[in-house]
Structure 1
Amino acid sequence: MLKLFKIDLLARAKAEIARKDKELAREIAGRFSRGNLSIQRGRFLTADDLEKRKQAVANYRFKK
């Protein structure tokens, strides 16, 4: 019934949990880092983020 109205609450809940987990990980890393302002402010790439960026660059079509 909910999918009939294009409301998928389970998918929304999973996305929200993933977003909060990522936010919490950045907050924890910031609290325990010392001396590195980028990490303290949450400006770093996780291994998954770095892998996604590598794949995006590998799939990019450069013009000749």
Structure 2
Amino acid sequence: MLDATARSLIAVIRDAVGRYLAPVTALFSLPVTFLMSNHAYYFGFVPVPLRAAPTPTSAAAAR
């Protein structure tokens, strides 16, 4: 299910915006951790962008 959610996120996000995924996730974490517990955020939400983010090997292979 996590892989399917990450693939859906990849389908929505354009390639040009993908490199800003980490800063957006970091800025998004501040207000969200006030609304929900840390465990729910870091174990429920953060794995999705981590799976969607390009790895250094996949980025090098795309060039």
More helix by share: 2
Which structure has more RCO (C-alpha within 8 Å, separation ≥ 6)?
A: 2
TM-score normalised to the size of structure 1? 0.28
